[in-house]
Structure formats: C-alpha cells, structure tokens
Amino acid sequence: MLTNEQQLIESIQSLVPMIEENAAEAERGRKPVDSVMQAIEKTQAYRYFVPKKYDGFEFSLEGFMQLGMILGAADISTAWVVTFCMEHNWLIGLYNQEAQDHIFGKHPYIIAPGALAPRGVATPVEGGFRLTGQWQWGTGVMHANWVMVGALTEGADPPELCMYALPIEQAEIIDTWQMSGMAGTGSNDIAIKDAFVPGYLRQQLTDMRAGDSPGAAIHKTATYRMPMLPVLGL
C-alpha cells in the first residue's frame, strides 16, 4: 500500500522507458498499448483521487500535475488517457453516498471515459432512467470498466444536464478515432441504446460545476469541494 504520493511518482517514473518504447506502437494501433496500461494500473495510479473512505489516496493536485508531466514527456497520448481516467475517479467522489458505495465498494477505482457533452437523452422511469445517445471523444474507453456520459433529461423544463455512470458492458465502442495526431489515445465514440441507469448513478452537473455536489458533504478533503471545471482543466 502506498503511503505518500512521492512513492507513486517514483513508480510512474520507473515506467518511462517502457512508455517511450511503446509510444509509436500506440499511435499505430490507435490506442494505448495494453502492456503499458497494465503496468500503469499496477502502480495504483487510478486510486490517486479516490476518497480515503474507500481506501483511496486523496493525494494533492500538485502531485497529479507532476505525474502528468512525467507521463506526457514519455508519450502524450498515454498521458492524456491516464490522467483523464485518474481525474474521473474524483468525479465519482462527487456523487452521492449510494453511488460511491456501489462503485468503489465493488472495486477500489474505475477506469472510465468522461464524455460530458449533452449528446444523449435520459427518460425518467421507475427507479431511474433509460439512457440513449452517442458521445464523441471517449478518452479511456479502450481500457474502461465504466463510462460516464452527459445527457439531458427528457421533458425537463428548464433543461437539465446530468452525468450518468454505467458499467462498460452497457455501452458500445464505435471506431471513429482516425486522427493524424494523438491517435494513440483511442478516443472513440461511445454509444448507448436504451440502457437502464439507477437514479443514484446520476449526478447534476450544475452542482459539480459549483463545488456543491453531494460528495462535498461526505469527504473532508477540500478537493471534493472544488468546482469541476478548474480541476478537469489541469
């Protein structure tokens, strides 16, 4: 078990030769190389922003930026994917208690894209919502176990934009990422068709943007009270 972020930084630093060696292959294959992603996952990097309540680390934003620079110097595409997916565990930390218990109770972290543009529609049904849509720029989807997507609530007035979390099994990856640069991110489209999402796996984006989400009241660390956009912009 890691006890401080410097240990994690050193673990990532030790992988730099491997990441550099596989950078060209990531671009050719149009996704991060599996062995590289497995090695990074073994460092426990994805627990960086997971709340301590769920055996996460709650490490600092400064250390996160340092990790990103180390990864980026080795391969910008792999860095893009890994840092996005690290931050998306922070997003789950902003959800309500039931959602966090459900997600982090099953596994100590997620690897998930966060396609938050309102490219889907969520229809209210008993116990939750039926979700349909297709989202671009699914960074992380090629190694994901969850997905997070933005959708408008059908019939809501004024319009209501929320984020929905679903297991990857409820989504389809659409091969659209044909790029001349950063092809190695594998940021393909995510398609979801009439998938049921329990109500507790839905979070209002307005609360997250304001730093006033349910997670802000659950966790003591100030990071969970920060507005969403400045953190995701790091």
**Cβ–Cβ under 8 Å, residues 9 and 65:** no
pLDDT digits (tens, 9 = 90+) for 41-87: 999 999 999 999 999 999 999 999 999 999 999 999 999 999 999 99
**In this structure, which amino acid lies at residue 136?**
Q
- The answer to whether residues 96 and 154 belong to one domain is no
Cα distances (Å, whole numbers) of residue 34 to 8, 12, 29, 221, 223: 20, 16, 10, 33, 31
Q: 24 is in which domain, residue-wise?
A: 5-106
pLDDT digits (tens, 9 = 90+) for 87-108: 999 999 999 999 999 999 999 9
- The answer to whether residues 94 and 177 belong to one domain is no
Model confidence, pTM: 0.95
- The answer to whether residues 11 and 102 belong to one domain is yes
In the chain, pLDDT over 90 holds for what percent of residues?
88
User: HSE on the CB side for 67, CA within 13 Å?
Assistant: 31
- The answer to whether residues 163 and 83 belong to one domain is no
- The answer to whether residues 31 and 90 belong to one domain is yes
- Whether 1 shows a pLDDT value over 70: the answer reads no
pLDDT digits (tens, 9 = 90+) for 146-166: 999 999 999 999 989 999 999
The secondary structure of the chain in percent helix, strand, coil, rounded to multiples of 5, reads 50, 20, 30
Coil, strand or helix at 140: coil
Q: CATH number, domain at 176? A: 2.40.110.10
In terms of DSSP bridges, do strands 189-198 and 202-204 run parallel, antiparallel, or are they unpaired?
Answer: unpaired
Name the domain count of the chain: 2
Go through 114-147 and write b for each residue having 16 or more CB atoms within 10 A of its CB, e for each that does not.
Answer: bbbebbbebeeeeebbbbbbbbebbbbbbbbebb
Residues 18-44: what's their mean pLDDT?
Answer: 98
- pLDDT value at position 72? 98
- pLDDT value at position 66? 97
